[in-house]
Structure 1
Amino acid sequence: MQTMKKLIALGAMAVMTCAASAQTVQKKASAGAAKGEAYVEKSLASQGLDGQVYGELGLSFLHYKIARAGISAKPIMLRAVAGYDYHPNLAAEAMLGLGLRGADAVGPWGTAYSVSAGTLLGAYAKPRLRIGGETEFFARLGIANAGTSVGGYTGTDGGAGLSYGLGFKTVTPWKSFGNRPVSVAADYMSYYSGSGVKLTGFTLGAGVAF
Protein backbone atom coordinates (compact mmCIF):
# COMPACT_ATOMS: atom_id res chain seq x y z
CA MET A 1 0.00 0.00 0.00
CA GLN A 2 2.82 2.37 0.95
CA THR A 3 4.61 1.53 -2.29
CA MET A 4 1.48 2.35 -4.28
CA LYS A 5 1.12 5.70 -2.52
CA LYS A 6 4.74 6.55 -3.28
CA LEU A 7 4.28 5.68 -6.94
CA ILE A 8 1.14 7.85 -7.15
CA ALA A 9 2.97 10.72 -5.44
CA LEU A 10 5.94 10.39 -7.81
CA GLY A 11 3.59 10.29 -10.81
CA ALA A 12 1.78 13.42 -9.63
CA MET A 13 5.10 15.23 -9.12
CA ALA A 14 6.26 14.22 -12.60
CA VAL A 15 3.03 15.54 -14.18
CA MET A 16 3.30 18.82 -12.27
CA THR A 17 6.96 19.20 -13.26
CA CYS A 18 6.17 18.58 -16.95
CA ALA A 19 3.26 21.03 -16.84
CA ALA A 20 5.44 23.70 -15.20
CA SER A 21 8.19 23.12 -17.79
CA ALA A 22 5.71 23.35 -20.67
CA GLN A 23 4.29 26.58 -19.25
CA THR A 24 7.80 28.03 -18.90
CA VAL A 25 8.66 27.12 -22.51
CA GLN A 26 5.38 28.65 -23.71
CA LYS A 27 6.07 31.88 -21.82
CA LYS A 28 9.60 32.09 -23.23
CA ALA A 29 8.34 31.43 -26.76
CA SER A 30 5.65 34.09 -26.38
CA ALA A 31 8.15 36.60 -25.00
CA GLY A 32 10.58 35.82 -27.83
CA ALA A 33 7.88 36.25 -30.48
CA ALA A 34 6.78 39.55 -28.93
CA LYS A 35 10.39 40.81 -28.90
CA GLY A 36 10.76 39.77 -32.54
CA GLU A 37 7.64 41.71 -33.52
CA ALA A 38 8.84 44.76 -31.58
CA TYR A 39 12.24 44.59 -33.30
CA VAL A 40 10.62 44.42 -36.75
CA GLU A 41 8.33 47.34 -35.91
CA LYS A 42 11.26 49.42 -34.62
CA SER A 43 13.31 48.69 -37.74
CA LEU A 44 10.44 49.65 -40.03
CA ALA A 45 9.72 52.82 -38.04
CA SER A 46 13.35 53.88 -38.42
CA GLN A 47 12.85 53.68 -42.19
CA GLY A 48 9.53 55.54 -42.07
CA LEU A 49 7.58 52.40 -42.99
CA ASP A 50 5.58 51.82 -39.81
CA GLY A 51 1.92 51.07 -40.49
CA GLN A 52 2.63 50.22 -44.14
CA VAL A 53 4.10 46.71 -43.97
CA TYR A 54 2.42 43.40 -43.18
CA GLY A 55 3.30 39.74 -43.13
CA GLU A 56 1.28 36.56 -43.60
CA LEU A 57 1.93 32.84 -43.17
CA GLY A 58 -0.32 30.22 -44.70
CA LEU A 59 -0.81 26.62 -45.71
CA SER A 60 -1.37 25.99 -49.43
CA PHE A 61 -3.19 22.93 -50.72
CA LEU A 62 -1.93 22.61 -54.28
CA HIS A 63 -3.10 20.90 -57.44
CA TYR A 64 -0.24 20.03 -59.75
CA LYS A 65 -0.83 18.67 -63.24
CA ILE A 66 1.18 17.75 -66.33
CA ALA A 67 -1.54 17.24 -68.92
CA ARG A 68 0.51 15.58 -71.67
CA ALA A 69 1.92 12.98 -69.26
CA GLY A 70 -1.31 12.39 -67.36
CA ILE A 71 0.40 13.24 -64.05
CA SER A 72 -1.73 14.80 -61.31
CA ALA A 73 -0.93 15.25 -57.62
CA LYS A 74 -1.80 17.36 -54.57
CA PRO A 75 1.30 18.41 -52.60
CA ILE A 76 1.19 20.88 -49.70
CA MET A 77 3.22 24.10 -49.42
CA LEU A 78 4.06 26.49 -46.58
CA ARG A 79 3.67 30.03 -47.92
CA ALA A 80 4.96 33.36 -46.57
CA VAL A 81 3.95 36.79 -47.89
CA ALA A 82 5.47 40.20 -47.14
CA GLY A 83 3.40 43.16 -48.29
CA TYR A 84 3.76 46.94 -48.56
CA ASP A 85 0.74 49.27 -48.63
CA TYR A 86 1.20 51.88 -51.33
CA HIS A 87 -2.42 52.99 -51.09
CA PRO A 88 -5.60 51.86 -49.28
CA ASN A 89 -6.57 50.09 -52.51
CA LEU A 90 -3.17 48.86 -53.69
CA ALA A 91 -0.30 46.87 -52.19
CA ALA A 92 2.84 45.17 -53.47
CA GLU A 93 3.77 41.70 -52.26
CA ALA A 94 6.70 39.30 -52.29
CA MET A 95 5.89 35.61 -51.89
CA LEU A 96 7.95 32.61 -50.81
CA GLY A 97 6.63 29.06 -50.86
CA LEU A 98 8.40 25.98 -49.51
CA GLY A 99 7.29 22.43 -50.19
CA LEU A 100 5.95 20.99 -46.95
CA ARG A 101 4.65 17.61 -48.07
CA GLY A 102 5.07 15.86 -51.39
CA ALA A 103 2.56 13.62 -53.12
CA ASP A 104 2.62 10.44 -55.17
CA ALA A 105 1.25 10.36 -58.70
CA VAL A 106 0.69 7.65 -61.30
CA GLY A 107 1.23 8.18 -65.02
CA PRO A 108 -0.97 6.80 -67.83
CA TRP A 109 1.01 3.53 -68.03
CA GLY A 110 1.10 2.95 -64.29
CA THR A 111 4.47 4.64 -63.80
CA ALA A 112 4.89 5.96 -60.26
CA TYR A 113 6.09 9.54 -59.75
CA SER A 114 6.97 11.57 -56.66
CA VAL A 115 5.85 15.21 -56.84
CA SER A 116 7.40 17.95 -54.69
CA ALA A 117 6.21 21.56 -54.51
CA GLY A 118 9.86 22.63 -54.20
CA THR A 119 10.41 26.39 -53.86
CA LEU A 120 8.09 29.11 -55.16
CA LEU A 121 9.14 32.76 -55.58
CA GLY A 122 6.75 35.47 -56.69
CA ALA A 123 6.20 39.24 -56.90
CA TYR A 124 2.70 40.72 -57.17
CA ALA A 125 0.60 43.83 -57.43
CA LYS A 126 -2.43 43.51 -55.17
CA PRO A 127 -5.44 45.73 -55.97
CA ARG A 128 -8.15 45.46 -53.32
CA LEU A 129 -11.57 46.65 -52.29
CA ARG A 130 -11.97 47.40 -48.59
CA ILE A 131 -15.32 47.00 -46.84
CA GLY A 132 -15.76 48.72 -43.49
CA GLY A 133 -12.00 48.96 -42.96
CA GLU A 134 -11.81 45.43 -41.50
CA THR A 135 -12.45 43.23 -44.53
CA GLU A 136 -11.04 43.34 -48.04
CA PHE A 137 -11.51 41.47 -51.29
CA PHE A 138 -8.39 41.40 -53.43
CA ALA A 139 -6.77 40.22 -56.62
CA ARG A 140 -3.13 39.37 -57.25
CA LEU A 141 -1.31 39.77 -60.53
CA GLY A 142 2.39 39.18 -60.98
CA ILE A 143 5.19 36.81 -61.92
CA ALA A 144 6.18 33.62 -60.12
CA ASN A 145 8.81 30.94 -60.52
CA ALA A 146 7.54 27.48 -59.60
CA GLY A 147 10.44 25.21 -58.72
CA THR A 148 8.33 22.07 -58.64
CA SER A 149 9.96 18.73 -59.34
CA VAL A 150 8.71 15.29 -60.36
CA GLY A 151 10.99 12.39 -59.55
CA GLY A 152 11.29 9.99 -62.47
CA TYR A 153 9.92 12.44 -65.06
CA THR A 154 12.30 13.78 -67.71
CA GLY A 155 10.12 16.52 -69.24
CA THR A 156 9.41 20.10 -68.17
CA ASP A 157 7.92 20.11 -64.66
CA GLY A 158 8.00 23.81 -63.66
CA GLY A 159 9.02 27.28 -64.75
CA ALA A 160 8.37 31.01 -64.49
CA GLY A 161 5.44 32.97 -65.84
CA LEU A 162 2.28 34.95 -65.18
CA SER A 163 0.61 34.30 -61.84
CA TYR A 164 -2.75 35.55 -60.56
CA GLY A 165 -5.50 34.92 -58.05
CA LEU A 166 -8.43 36.15 -55.95
CA GLY A 167 -9.09 36.16 -52.21
CA PHE A 168 -10.31 37.95 -49.13
CA LYS A 169 -8.88 39.01 -45.77
CA THR A 170 -10.47 40.19 -42.54
CA VAL A 171 -9.21 41.42 -39.16
CA THR A 172 -10.17 39.27 -36.17
CA PRO A 173 -10.52 40.10 -32.44
CA TRP A 174 -7.45 37.91 -31.79
CA LYS A 175 -4.10 39.42 -30.85
CA SER A 176 -0.53 38.41 -31.67
CA PHE A 177 2.17 37.90 -29.02
CA GLY A 178 3.08 41.56 -29.55
CA ASN A 179 -0.58 42.55 -29.03
CA ARG A 180 -1.22 43.33 -32.70
CA PRO A 181 -4.54 42.52 -34.39
CA VAL A 182 -4.40 39.21 -36.27
CA SER A 183 -5.97 38.95 -39.72
CA VAL A 184 -7.06 35.76 -41.46
CA ALA A 185 -7.12 35.29 -45.23
CA ALA A 186 -8.08 32.80 -47.91
CA ASP A 187 -7.21 32.85 -51.60
CA TYR A 188 -7.09 30.77 -54.74
CA MET A 189 -4.03 31.19 -56.96
CA SER A 190 -2.77 30.08 -60.34
CA TYR A 191 0.98 30.02 -59.70
CA TYR A 192 2.13 28.69 -63.05
CA SER A 193 0.66 27.57 -66.34
CA GLY A 194 2.86 26.74 -69.29
CA SER A 195 4.33 23.88 -71.37
CA GLY A 196 1.41 21.70 -70.37
CA VAL A 197 2.17 22.19 -66.65
CA LYS A 198 -0.34 23.77 -64.25
CA LEU A 199 0.13 24.61 -60.58
CA THR A 200 -2.84 26.06 -58.71
CA GLY A 201 -3.84 26.10 -55.06
CA PHE A 202 -6.09 27.21 -52.21
CA THR A 203 -4.42 28.85 -49.19
CA LEU A 204 -5.57 29.56 -45.64
CA GLY A 205 -3.38 31.95 -43.68
CA ALA A 206 -3.01 34.51 -40.91
CA GLY A 207 -0.95 37.65 -40.52
CA VAL A 208 -0.21 40.90 -38.73
CA ALA A 209 0.52 44.48 -39.78
CA PHE A 210 3.52 46.43 -38.48
Structure 2
Amino acid sequence: MKKTLIGIAAASLLMLGTAAQAQQAKPPVYGEIGYSMIENDDLKFGVLRGIIGADLHPNVAVEGMLGLGVKDDSFTAFGTTFDAKIKNMVGVYAKPKFNVTPELELFGRVGFTRINIEASVGGASASDADSDLSYGVGLNYNITPTVHIGVDYMNYYDKDGSKFDGVTVGVGFRF
Protein backbone atom coordinates (compact mmCIF):
# COMPACT_ATOMS: atom_id res chain seq x y z
CA MET A 1 0.00 0.00 0.00
CA LYS A 2 2.83 2.37 0.90
CA LYS A 3 4.51 1.75 -2.48
CA THR A 4 1.23 2.49 -4.29
CA LEU A 5 0.84 5.82 -2.48
CA ILE A 6 4.44 6.78 -3.28
CA GLY A 7 3.84 5.86 -6.94
CA ILE A 8 0.65 7.95 -7.09
CA ALA A 9 2.42 10.90 -5.43
CA ALA A 10 5.34 10.69 -7.88
CA ALA A 11 2.98 10.50 -10.88
CA SER A 12 1.03 13.50 -9.56
CA LEU A 13 4.22 15.55 -9.24
CA LEU A 14 5.24 14.66 -12.79
CA MET A 15 1.81 15.67 -14.11
CA LEU A 16 1.97 19.00 -12.25
CA GLY A 17 5.37 19.74 -13.80
CA THR A 18 4.02 18.97 -17.29
CA ALA A 19 0.97 21.18 -16.72
CA ALA A 20 3.17 24.06 -15.55
CA GLN A 21 5.35 23.75 -18.67
CA ALA A 22 2.29 23.70 -20.92
CA GLN A 23 0.98 26.89 -19.30
CA GLN A 24 4.31 28.67 -19.85
CA ALA A 25 4.66 27.66 -23.51
CA LYS A 26 4.18 30.54 -25.94
CA PRO A 27 1.52 30.22 -28.64
CA PRO A 28 3.21 29.37 -31.98
CA VAL A 29 1.48 32.04 -34.14
CA TYR A 30 2.13 35.77 -33.79
CA GLY A 31 1.40 39.08 -35.41
CA GLU A 32 3.40 42.30 -35.30
CA ILE A 33 2.58 45.88 -36.23
CA GLY A 34 5.25 48.54 -36.49
CA TYR A 35 6.44 51.78 -38.02
CA SER A 36 9.38 51.52 -40.42
CA MET A 37 11.69 54.43 -41.22
CA ILE A 38 13.04 53.45 -44.63
CA GLU A 39 15.73 55.31 -46.56
CA ASN A 40 16.65 55.32 -50.24
CA ASP A 41 19.55 57.62 -51.12
CA ASP A 42 18.40 61.03 -49.79
CA LEU A 43 14.73 60.02 -49.47
CA LYS A 44 13.09 59.04 -46.19
CA PHE A 45 9.82 57.11 -46.19
CA GLY A 46 7.44 55.97 -43.46
CA VAL A 47 5.85 52.54 -43.77
CA LEU A 48 3.25 50.84 -41.59
CA ARG A 49 4.49 47.24 -41.46
CA GLY A 50 2.54 44.16 -40.44
CA ILE A 51 3.98 40.68 -39.97
CA ILE A 52 2.30 37.32 -39.45
CA GLY A 53 4.63 34.57 -38.27
CA ALA A 54 4.64 31.00 -37.05
CA ASP A 55 7.23 29.16 -34.97
CA LEU A 56 8.36 25.95 -36.68
CA HIS A 57 10.84 25.23 -33.89
CA PRO A 58 11.89 27.13 -30.74
CA ASN A 59 14.74 28.64 -32.80
CA VAL A 60 13.12 29.04 -36.26
CA ALA A 61 10.03 30.86 -37.52
CA VAL A 62 8.60 31.76 -40.93
CA GLU A 63 7.04 35.17 -41.61
CA GLY A 64 4.97 37.01 -44.15
CA MET A 65 5.12 40.83 -44.30
CA LEU A 66 2.92 43.58 -45.75
CA GLY A 67 4.01 47.21 -45.62
CA LEU A 68 1.94 50.23 -46.67
CA GLY A 69 3.50 53.63 -47.30
CA VAL A 70 2.25 56.31 -44.88
CA LYS A 71 4.92 59.04 -45.24
CA ASP A 72 6.09 60.29 -48.62
CA ASP A 73 9.14 62.36 -49.58
CA SER A 74 10.20 64.52 -52.51
CA PHE A 75 13.28 65.09 -54.62
CA THR A 76 14.40 67.56 -57.28
CA ALA A 77 15.70 66.49 -60.68
CA PHE A 78 16.21 68.65 -63.77
CA GLY A 79 14.87 71.65 -61.84
CA THR A 80 11.54 69.91 -61.14
CA THR A 81 10.30 68.63 -57.76
CA PHE A 82 8.93 65.08 -57.77
CA ASP A 83 6.90 63.42 -55.02
CA ALA A 84 7.97 59.86 -54.19
CA LYS A 85 6.34 57.18 -52.08
CA ILE A 86 6.49 53.52 -51.25
CA LYS A 87 3.05 52.26 -52.24
CA ASN A 88 3.52 48.84 -50.66
CA MET A 89 5.99 46.12 -49.78
CA VAL A 90 5.42 42.36 -49.53
CA GLY A 91 7.93 39.89 -48.14
CA VAL A 92 8.50 36.32 -46.96
CA TYR A 93 11.27 35.44 -44.52
CA ALA A 94 12.94 32.72 -42.52
CA LYS A 95 13.64 33.91 -38.97
CA PRO A 96 16.39 32.17 -36.99
CA LYS A 97 16.15 33.26 -33.34
CA PHE A 98 17.72 32.74 -29.96
CA ASN A 99 16.49 33.60 -26.45
CA VAL A 100 19.30 35.44 -24.66
CA THR A 101 17.10 35.48 -21.54
CA PRO A 102 13.49 34.31 -21.12
CA GLU A 103 12.38 37.87 -21.96
CA LEU A 104 14.94 38.90 -24.62
CA GLU A 105 15.02 37.35 -28.10
CA LEU A 106 17.76 38.04 -30.66
CA PHE A 107 16.82 37.20 -34.26
CA GLY A 108 17.84 37.42 -37.87
CA ARG A 109 15.71 37.53 -40.99
CA VAL A 110 16.47 36.40 -44.52
CA GLY A 111 14.09 36.19 -47.45
CA PHE A 112 12.69 38.21 -50.33
CA THR A 113 10.85 41.54 -50.50
CA ARG A 114 8.94 43.10 -53.38
CA ILE A 115 8.75 46.92 -53.21
CA ASN A 116 6.27 48.99 -55.24
CA ILE A 117 7.25 52.67 -55.52
CA GLU A 118 5.64 55.64 -57.24
CA ALA A 119 6.98 59.04 -58.34
CA SER A 120 4.71 61.87 -59.48
CA VAL A 121 4.92 65.43 -60.71
CA GLY A 122 1.86 67.55 -61.45
CA GLY A 123 -0.87 65.15 -62.56
CA ALA A 124 1.49 62.55 -64.05
CA SER A 125 2.86 59.57 -62.17
CA ALA A 126 4.91 56.46 -62.81
CA SER A 127 5.38 53.39 -60.66
CA ASP A 128 7.81 50.51 -60.57
CA ALA A 129 8.05 47.29 -58.59
CA ASP A 130 10.96 44.93 -58.11
CA SER A 131 12.11 42.17 -55.74
CA ASP A 132 15.40 41.41 -54.06
CA LEU A 133 17.01 39.33 -51.36
CA SER A 134 16.34 40.86 -47.92
CA TYR A 135 18.08 40.39 -44.60
CA GLY A 136 18.21 41.93 -41.16
CA VAL A 137 18.63 41.58 -37.40
CA GLY A 138 16.55 42.56 -34.40
CA LEU A 139 15.54 42.22 -30.77
CA ASN A 140 12.19 41.43 -29.16
CA TYR A 141 11.48 41.96 -25.47
CA ASN A 142 8.63 39.89 -23.99
CA ILE A 143 6.47 42.02 -21.72
CA THR A 144 4.18 39.04 -21.09
CA PRO A 145 4.16 35.53 -22.63
CA THR A 146 1.86 36.86 -25.38
CA VAL A 147 2.99 40.51 -25.87
CA HIS A 148 6.39 41.82 -26.97
CA ILE A 149 7.98 45.03 -28.17
CA GLY A 150 10.73 45.00 -30.74
CA VAL A 151 13.19 46.83 -32.93
CA ASP A 152 14.88 45.60 -36.09
CA TYR A 153 17.05 46.73 -38.97
CA MET A 154 16.27 45.38 -42.45
CA ASN A 155 17.95 45.74 -45.82
CA TYR A 156 14.88 45.21 -48.02
CA TYR A 157 16.37 45.93 -51.44
CA ASP A 158 19.87 46.60 -52.77
CA LYS A 159 20.10 46.29 -56.53
CA ASP A 160 21.14 48.38 -59.54
CA GLY A 161 22.46 51.22 -57.36
CA SER A 162 19.20 51.57 -55.43
CA LYS A 163 18.96 50.58 -51.76
CA PHE A 164 15.95 50.51 -49.42
CA ASP A 165 16.82 49.84 -45.79
CA GLY A 166 15.68 50.99 -42.39
CA VAL A 167 14.68 50.51 -38.78
CA THR A 168 11.29 49.38 -37.48
CA VAL A 169 9.88 49.70 -33.97
CA GLY A 170 6.75 47.77 -33.12
CA VAL A 171 4.65 45.59 -30.89
CA GLY A 172 3.73 41.93 -31.31
CA PHE A 173 1.02 39.62 -30.05
CA ARG A 174 0.95 35.81 -29.87
CA PHE A 175 -2.30 33.95 -30.40
Q: Is residue 28 of structure 2 the alignment partner of residue 59 of structure 1?
A: no
**Distance between the aligned counterparts of 1:53 and 1:144, measured in 2?**
21
Alignment of 1:1-210 (within 5 A): 51-65=27-41, 72-107=42-77, 109-152=78-121, 158-172=129-143, 181-210=146-175
Query: Could you say what the CA RMSD is over the residues aligned between the two structures, in angstroms?
Result: 2.1
Superposition deviation, residue 101 in structure 1 = 1.4
**Cα distance change, pair 56–103 in 1 and its aligned pair in 2 (3 A):** same
Q: Tell me, which stretches of 5 or more residues in structure 2 are unaligned?
A: 1-25
Between Structure 1 and Structure 2, which shows a larger proportion of helix residues? 1
Contact 2:119-2:126 within 8 A present in 1 as well? no
Contact 1:58-1:78 within 8 A present in 2 as well? yes
Taking structure 2 as the reference length, the TM-score comes to: 0.77
Percent of matched pairs sharing the same residue: 35
**Distance between the aligned counterparts of 2:62 and 2:37, measured in 1?**
23
Superposition deviation, residue 181 in structure 1 = 3.6
Match of 1:36 in 2: none
Between Structure 1 and Structure 2, which shows a larger proportion of strand residues? 2
Q: Could you list the runs of 4 or more consecutive aligned residues of structure 1 that deviate by over 4 angstroms after TM superposition?
A: 152-158
Q: Deviations over 1:32-75 (max 9, x none)?
A: xxxxxxxxxxxxxxxxxx9210000000011023xxxxxx2101
SS across alignment from 2:102: coil
Q: Tell me, which stretches of 5 or more residues in structure 1 are unaligned?
A: 1-49, 66-71, 174-179
Taking structure 1 as the reference length, the TM-score comes to: 0.65
